[in-house]
Structure formats: C-alpha cells, structure tokens
Amino acid sequence: MKSVYLDNAATTALRPEVVERMTQVLQENYGNASSIHSFGRASKSLLEQCRKNIASYFKVSASEIVFTSGGTEADNLALRSAVRDLGVTEIITSRIEHHAVLHTAEQLQKEYNVRLSYVDLDDCGLVDYSHLQELLQTSDKAIVSLMHINNEIGNILDIECVAKMCKENNALFHTDGVQSVGHYQIDLNKIPIDFMAASAHKFHGPKGVGFCYIRKESGLKPLIFGGEQERGYRAGTESTHNIVGMDEALKIAYTNLAVEKDYISELKTYFIQQLKDNLENVSFNGGCEDAINSTYTLVNVCLPIAPEKAPMLQFQLDLKGIACSKGSACQSGSSQQSHVLSAILDDDKLKRPSVRFSFSIFNTKEELDYVVKVLKAFVNS
C-alpha cells in the first residue's frame, strides 16, 4: 500500500536539516537561557541570534519577536491583552477564522462585554472590504482579527489593504499568519500590522513553538505570568532546541521560497486538472482555483459523492494510505460540519463530502495520480 501525506496544512514533516540542528542543540546547549553561568549564556546567545534571524525575514527589530508555544498562544496573547489592557471595546473578525481566534473572541465577549462583529463574506469566503470599512467607521476602539490565509479553503486576505484601513480608523490589526509565514514574504516594516501569530510546524519546523510579532510600544501585557523571560511578555523557560529548529526551518523556507513555491504551485494546478478530468461534477470550495486569491499550498474539494456514501470517504482514503482532512485538524474529533464551509456553502453542497488536500515540497505528481485513482474508484463504486 502506498503512503501519501497530503495534510500539510495540519502539520508538516520536519526537514532533515532541522532534525540535525535540533539534535545538536539538545546534546550541546542544554543550559537554561536564564542562568548566568556559561551553559546558560550559550543558550541565551542562541536564542537571541534566532530572534534576530527571524525578525530579519519580516524587516522588524528583534525585540518585536516573542517566542510562544505556537499560533494559538500567540492569538490569545494579542487578543486578550488588547481587550484587557489596551482599551479595545470591539473585536471585528469573520466567521471563518481559526477557532483560536473565534473561541477567544467569544470568551472575551463574555468576560469583558466587548462588542463582537463579523465582517461580511462573499460566496467564496472572501472578505467584503466595504463592509469592514463600515464596521471600522462605527467603532470607538476596535481590534480587527483576520487571518492572512484561511487554513481550510486557502483564501488570501489583502493584509496591506486591511492594515491601511485599520490605521486610518485608529484600530488595531491582528492577523493569524500561521498558514502564510514560511510560505509568503511579509514585510512588517511596510505593512502596519500590530500583531501576527506564527507556528513552526506549518513550515517544516518542530511542534510546540511559534512566535508572536508585537509592534514596539504597543502596550501589550503578558498572558502567562512568572519569570521575566521574553522581555516580560511570556514567562517560562524557553525551549531552546525548538526555537533553533524553528529558525532553521524558516531560514530554509525563505532561502528556497521561489523554487519551492513554483514546484508546489505546479502540483496544485496538476491536481485540480486531474480531478476535473476524472470526476464529473467535482467542484472547489472558496477561491481554490484562483491562483491570485488562493494559496498555492492547498485545495478544498467538494466531491460528487452521494450523502449516504460520504461518511465512508475519509475511512476509505485512510485505508489506502492517503492522509488528508475534512477541515482543521484542531476540530478533527468533532462530528460537526466545518464552520468555514457552513459559512459559505449552500445546503446541497454541504450534503456532499468536502476534503482538504494540502501540499508540500515532499509531494510528487505520482502521488497525486494515485489519489485521483482512489477517489475515482470510490466515486464509481
């Protein structure tokens, strides 16, 4: 049986170079970065070099990069402190955000009685910028939280446009960049984003580590209290080997970005065409077929399968060694329909199974041919 991994939006395989670098640090740099002896100083030096490196990719200062356990913590840090400490009275978001944002916003509404507003979306799930402008103009002090790239349907937000609108309306702008960091160049010196979340395991780095970009002099306060690590923003002993792994993965990602983007884009284009050629009435959710408004890393497919057969699809794909998902891995244990697809699809399409296939540099056209063959056999069975 073949083994085909097409769930890279959920997590990615570690690059061999990352494993090698992390192993070296685990063996040689085990000192606590907060200790003042030579072992601690060596770890501290590594951390600060990683911070400088990561900051350089986004053209910001090292002091604006705060290491976290991942994107969820970074989202929580930005949103909770904005409401608790920065006088925010309204959170403007969309109904297709990751639950790290949606559930945090809902909880903040309960705790602080902030207004929670949702920007309108078109039929493909793209943000209605005119409606966003209307919401901003009627708000006293808002934070806009909209993800750069949607993790289920791949829609790309015009973050430069949103950042400009927020600045003109004296609003803060937070973006979940978990699906875009390592896959797109983001110039935070040019784009006035206030807060951005990132997670290493989405770009072939280790799990359990990420960062929050916090624009200097923002006034943001800690989410986790204890020691004075991370310039007081985030207490707790830093995971040196994970941070080094994230730095190594990001360096490789941006060094090879153009070549790898072309390769993966070709895979996506090829896969879409093969699906069209082999499956009648197949369709694509969101802006998946749009090379401009959708990321090159994933496709969300609505398959022409009868509702009674739909529950068996994921099981059959798994039996054939194919890893993919029906939505975010963070809600894979839920029996509910994807909240993203529920927000944009009509009832007829929601009855049909939709599957997210997400690609990496480690995938091949031969693997995609195999997946199409398996799907075709299941549809016609």
Residue carrying the six token digits 């299941």: 378
- Token pair belonging to 80: 């909770």
Gap between the Cα atoms of 114 and 140, Å rounded: 11
Q: Is 135 helix (H, G, I), strand (E, B) or coil?
A: helix
Gap between the Cα atoms of 99 and 246, Å rounded: 23
In sequence order, the β-bridge partners of residue 300 are 356
Q: 100-109 — which CB contacts under 8 Å span 24+ positions?
A: 100/71, 100/72, 100/75, 100/76, 100/176, 100/197, 100/330, 101/75, 101/145, 101/147, 101/176, 102/339, 104/75, 104/76, 104/79, 104/80, 105/79, 105/145, 108/79, 108/80, 108/83
Helix, strand and coil in the chain, % to nearest 5 = 45, 15, 40
Amino acid at 119: V
> In this structure, is the dihedral angle defined by the CA atoms of residues 286, 289, 293 and 295, taken in order, positive or negative?
positive
Tell which residue, 143, 159, 150, has the closest CA to residue 192: 159
In sequence order, the β-bridge partners of residue 357 are 299
The widest CA-to-CA distance across the chain, in whole angstroms, is 67
Gap between the Cα atoms of 233 and 229, Å rounded: 7
Gap between the Cα atoms of 209 and 302, Å rounded: 33
Sequence-ordered strand ranges (E) for the chain: 4-5, 65-68, 90-93, 115-118, 142-145, 172-176, 195-199, 210-214, 283-284, 298-302, 322-323, 354-358
Residues with catalytic roles: 330
Count CB-CB contacts under 10 A for residue 375: 26
Euclidean distance between the first and the last CA atom of the chain, given in angstroms as a whole number: 20
